Amino acid sequence: MNVQDMNISERTIKDMIEKAEAARSFAYTPYSNFKVGAALLTACGDIVTGCNIENAAYSPGNCAERTAVFKAVSEGKKDFSAIAIVAGKDEIRDYTSPCGMCRQVLREFVNPESFYVIMAKNISDYKVMTLEELFPMSFGPDNLK
């Protein structure tokens, strides 16, 4: 995709990445030590953050992206434009994309063609893809109509 097509200012992207970094500091990861922070931009411009939260029984753990989505929906916000993700063990070295389960959860609430996933190393180094590019031919609410 062309980053120019994204109707989100550079300033908002930086703000999202900074908020994702701050959320990452709250990641609860005693088992993987892989810390993830996410910042979800709502249609009205609010930013809702999330971190990953692990569990001694492993499966109940939750990813940062789903934490952000569930927080937002539980506060009555369910129109989203983009999500920024930062992740890594000690430092953030790579671009991290959402896991399959998080892609499906995001897909429930967005138009995959115009929802942007911002995978960041820092505020000036990030990669952007649409959810459609990351998760083509997905199953969604329309399939059940």
Instruction: Tell me the catalytic residues.
Output: 65
Which residue of 3, 5, 10, 32 would you call a contact of ligand THU, by CB under 6 A?
A: 32
- The site string for ligand THU over 46-85 (x = CB under 6 A, - otherwise) reads ------x-x------x-xxx-------------------x
| DSSP letter (8 states) at residue 119 | E
- 29 binding ligand THU? (CB under 6 A): yes
Tell me the window of 9-17, 92-100, 123-131, 136-144 that interacts with ligand THU (CB under 6 A).
92-100
For the CA atoms of the chain, what is the radius of gyration? 14
Question: How much of the chain is in helix, strand and coil states, percent to nearest 5?
Answer: 30, 25, 40
For the purposes of burial, counting CB atoms within 10 Å of the CB of 104, is it exposed (0-12), middle (13-18) or buried (19 or more)? middle
Closest CA to 122 of 20, 41, 42: 20
By the criterion CB under 6 A, which residues form the site for ligand THU?
29, 32, 34, 36, 52, 54, 61, 63-65, 85, 96, 98-99, 102
